[in-house]
Amino acid sequence: MNALEATTRYFKRASKLLALDSKVERSLLIPFREIKVECTILKDDGTLASFVGFRVQHDNARGPMKGGIRYHPEVEPDEVNALAQLMTWKAAVTNVPYGGAKGGIGCSPRDLSIHELERLTRVFTQKIHDLIGVHTDVPAPDMGTNAQTMAWILDEYSKFHGYSPAIVTGKPVDLGGSLGRDAATGRGVVYALKALLADHGKSIAKQSYVIQGFGNVGSWIAQLVHEQGGKVKAISDVTGAVKNEAGLDIPALVKHAMETGGVQGFQGADALNPNELFAEDCDVLIPAALGGVLNGENAKDVRAKFVIEAANHPTDPQADEILAQKGVIVLPDIYANSGGVTVSYFEWVQNVQGFMWEEDKVNRELLRYMTKAYLNIKEMCNSHSCSLRMGAFSLGVSRVARATMLRGWEA
Ligand SMILES: NC(=O)C1=CN([C@@H]2O[C@H](COP(=O)(O)OP(=O)(O)OC[C@H]3O[C@@H](n4cnc5c(N)ncnc54)[C@H](O)[C@@H]3O)[C@@H](O)[C@H]2O)C=CC1
Ligand SMILES: O=C(O)CCC(=O)C(=O)O
């Protein structure tokens, strides 16, 4: 089952729980707009290279569409569609006034020079600039992109529309980015985890952790959990996997990964077969990289008590069922990683108001949003006797459906 089929399946289950009208259900499912553009650039060696870029704008009932831009070789239309749909429910779960969108370019950023990445980003922006906007669709970073990518989009967009810092979030602080946005997705994951563990009479400090992905999201989770006394036993990224039964020295691993480009070769640990990562004995397993990594094949090997979905759609529906049968509690992506879009909203508000917040305020507000969303999801779980995933989907879908019906369909 691909990402779009999986996301649609969860949506339809939520729609059934909420007894949504079938016409409303259909209208919520079909994306508002799907954009596909060709992006050709001159490489540094003077040859041409062509890439395909996508932006799917899923729904705008609750406000401007919002979502990241991913640079990865596996970017393809169905996945972008699924990720855009997830953004719609995610923004509604965390209750920021946005709809959902997602974009991406099928490319391998590790194989492109910084100048090639800049050219590609600028060409992509030229192709979509009239379809995004401060009050229509606001991109942000995702896998393979970062604050620098957002700075190029801001600059290119501003050539057409005048200086527009609010056109992207997750940009450098020097260009109006929010303090705390860099860490926000990871910090939000840790706030979500804290709420879940507290519900089970546990705390961050007493648990052991295994994390897949050591990029923006994974590395912040590792640092924050480590700072709070948690034992991070194993981490993988695209270069390999490392393990230390006594706990990895996370600040040293961060330094190593920055210097060498990945976790492989870290001296303070043993090498681990990345395919065996999910079977490691731990309390909390955190996929923070690709989608669909937990599947019917490997879910049965999971030994963790909790799976926290920091990545988008890391667990396919077959794995979801296996984990439920094993009694593993899964905290779903549309809540667990919503700290990113929540602080993106704070960034956009600061840009629109022209007033910067202190980092303390950003983190305090993030904690408030994450805690409230957790309580709202639990209310849904209690009233519908369902899992955390279906509680989150039902919450998100019900809020979007209400906004859609209030706006009406009169042409
Ligand atoms: N950056 C953000 O604010 C948000 C990101 N997310 C999701 O979090 C996940 C990670 O995103 P970022 O950390 O931003 O991306 P990133 O590009 O900063 O890092 C991605 C990490 O995944 C690793 N990776 C790639 N292929 C792998 C593989 N086959 N096995 C193990 N590791 C692999 C990379 O080496 C890298 O460490 C994605 O699913 C993204 O959609 C969700 C919400 C917001
Ligand atoms: O910060 C944002 O606007 C969106 C982040 C994102 O792409 C995601 O939550 O998956």
Q: CA-CA distance, 377 to 394, in Å (whole number)?
A: 8
The pLDDT assigned to 1 comes to 84
- Say if residue 383's pLDDT is above 90: yes
pLDDT, residue 105, reads 98
Residue 369 falls inside a structural domain:
no
144 lines ligand 1 (CB under 6 A): yes
pLDDT-based confidence at 217, cuts 50/70/90? very high
Q: How far is CA 120 from CA 33, 43, 104, 124, in A?
A: 22, 10, 11, 6
Handedness of CA 168, 171, 177, 180 (dihedral sign): positive
Note the pLDDT of residue 61. 98
pLDDT at 168: 98
| 127 lies in the same domain as 199 | no
Name the percent of the chain lying above pLDDT 90: 99
Q: What is the number of the ligand 2 atom nearest to the C-alpha of 139?
A: 3
Q: Is residue 384 part of a domain?
A: no
Q: Which atom of ligand 2 is nearest to the CA of 170?
A: 1
Specify whether 253 is located in the same domain as 159: no
How many Å lie between the centroid of ligand 1 and the Cα of residue 103? 15
Q: In this predicted model, what pLDDT tens digit does every residue of 298-330 receive, in sequence order?
A: 999 999 999 999 999 999 999 999 999 999 999
Whether 148 maps to a domain, the answer reads yes
- Cα distance between residue 324 and residue 319, in whole Å: 8
| Same-domain check for residues 258 and 132 | no
As for ligand 2, residues whose beta carbon falls within 6 Å of it are 66-68, 87, 90, 140, 142, 169-170, 312, 337, 340-341, 344
pLDDT tens for each residue of 38-86 = 999 999 999 999 999 999 999 999 999 999 999 999 999 999 999 999 9
Residues of the domain holding 233: 184-336
**Per-residue confidence (pLDDT) for residue 410, from 0 to 100:** 84
Nearest-CA residue for atom 10 of ligand 1? 289
pLDDT band of 411, cuts 50, 70, 90: confident
Average pLDDT over residues 368-396: 98
Which CATH number is 326's domain given? Answer: 3.40.50.720
For residue 406, being part of any structural domain is answered with: no
Whole-structure pTM value: 0.97
Please tell me whether residues 95 and 225 are part of one structural domain: no
Instruction: Identify the domain boundary among 336, 361, 386.
Output: 336
Domain at 134, CATH number? 3.40.50.10860
Out of 145, 175, 205, pick the residue that ends a domain: 175
State the pLDDT at residue 409.
Answer: 85
Q: Kind and range of the H or E element at 12?
A: helix 3-17
Amino acid symbol at 171: K
361 found inside a domain: no
- DSSP codes, 334-384: HHHTTHHHHHHHHHHHHHHHT-PPPHHHHHHHHHHHHHHHHHHHHHHHHHH
Is 323 part of any domain? yes
Domain-ending residue, one of 129, 153, 175 = 175
Same domain, 34 and 91: yes
What pLDDT, in 10s, does the model give residues 218-237? 999 999 999 999 999 999 99
Position 31 pLDDT exceeds 90: yes
User: Distance between CA atoms of 154 and 164, rounded to whole angstroms?
Assistant: 7
224 and 167 belong to one structural domain = no
pLDDT higher than 90, residue 351: yes
Pick the catalytic residue: 12, 23, 43, 102? 102
Q: Which two tokens stand for residue 211?
A: 């994390």
Instruction: Calculate mean pLDDT across residues 131-135.
Output: 98
pLDDT value at residue 228 = 98
The alpha carbon of 45 and the centre of ligand 2 are apart by a number of angstroms equal to 34
Residues 79 and 158 in one domain: yes
Question: Would you state the pLDDT for residue 128?
Answer: 98
Instruction: Determine, yes or no, domain membership for 326.
Output: yes
Contacts of 56 (CB under 8 A, 6+ apart): 31, 33, 34, 35, 77, 80, 81, 83, 84, 101, 102, 103
Residue 394 has pLDDT above 90, yes or no: yes
Task: List b or e across 293-315, with b for residues whose CB sees 16 or more CB atoms inside 10 angstroms.
Answer: bbbeebbeebebbbbbbbbbbbb
CA distance 13 to 4: 14
Q: Is 156 in the pocket of ligand 1 (CB under 6 A)?
A: no
Catalytic, 23? Answer no
Same domain, 189 and 171: no
Residues 99 and 229 in one domain: no
Residue count of the chain: 411
Number of H helices, E strands in the chain: 13, 12
Provide the token pair at 375: 């309580």
Pocket test for ligand 1, best of 217, 250, 335, 346 (most atoms within 8 A of CB): 217
The total of structural domains in the chain comes to 2
Q: Does residue 169 sit in the same domain as residue 192?
A: no
